[in-house]
């Protein structure tokens, strides 16, 4: 049985506004079975095809809004806009996705002068695991 699972956390402080890197680079990787997650790029690349479950949790930076997307390849699967400039707000999204081998999935913060995500104290995380292998 093949096991693929990862968990990564952003610990580098606030990202944004005007974040131009696309994928959020979750730098602290606590689990990476199958070596699918790359903290240098922020991309999870499926080591085998199958059905995966992904969860992204992020803390909107107080004083800013946030627009976060969960992306399969180049296609947005979930888009979340949250406009609350006064408080920190925690948001979580979970999704099931069919991924072919070597296809990417990632979390993106849209570029804007008003979008920012809190990245310290382990509030912002991205993880996933393979539910069923070779399903296409």
CA separation, residue 100 to residues 31, 46, 132, 134, 136 (Å): 21, 7, 12, 8, 7
Q: Where are the domains of the chain?
A: 5-133
Whether 84 shows a pLDDT value over 70: the answer reads: no
% of the chain exceeding 70 in pLDDT: 97
Which of the pair, 58 or 41, is modelled with greater confidence?
41
**Domain topology for 5-133:** Jelly Rolls (2.60.120)
Distance separating alpha carbons of residues 83 and 131, to the nearest angstrom: 33
Average pLDDT over residues 39-63: 93
User: Against a cut of 0.75, is the pTM above it?
Assistant: yes
């Amino acid at each position: 049985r093949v096991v693929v699972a990862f968990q990564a956390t952003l610990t580098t402080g606030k990202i944004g506004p005007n974040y131009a890197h696309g994928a959020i680079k979750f730098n602290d990787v606590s689990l990476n079975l199958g070596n699918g997650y790359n903290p240098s790029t922020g991309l999870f690349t499926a080591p085998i095809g199958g059905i995966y479950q992904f969860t992204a949790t992020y803390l909107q930076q107080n004083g800013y809004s946030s627009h976060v997307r969960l992306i399969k390849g180049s296609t947005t699967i979930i888009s979340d806009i949250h406009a609350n400039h006064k408080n920190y707000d925690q948001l979580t999204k979970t999704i099931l996705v069919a991924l072919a081998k070597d296809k990417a999935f990632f979390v993106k913060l849209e570029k804007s002068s008003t979008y920012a995500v809190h990245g310290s104290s382990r509030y912002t995380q991205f993880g996933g695991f393979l539910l069923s292998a070779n399903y296409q």
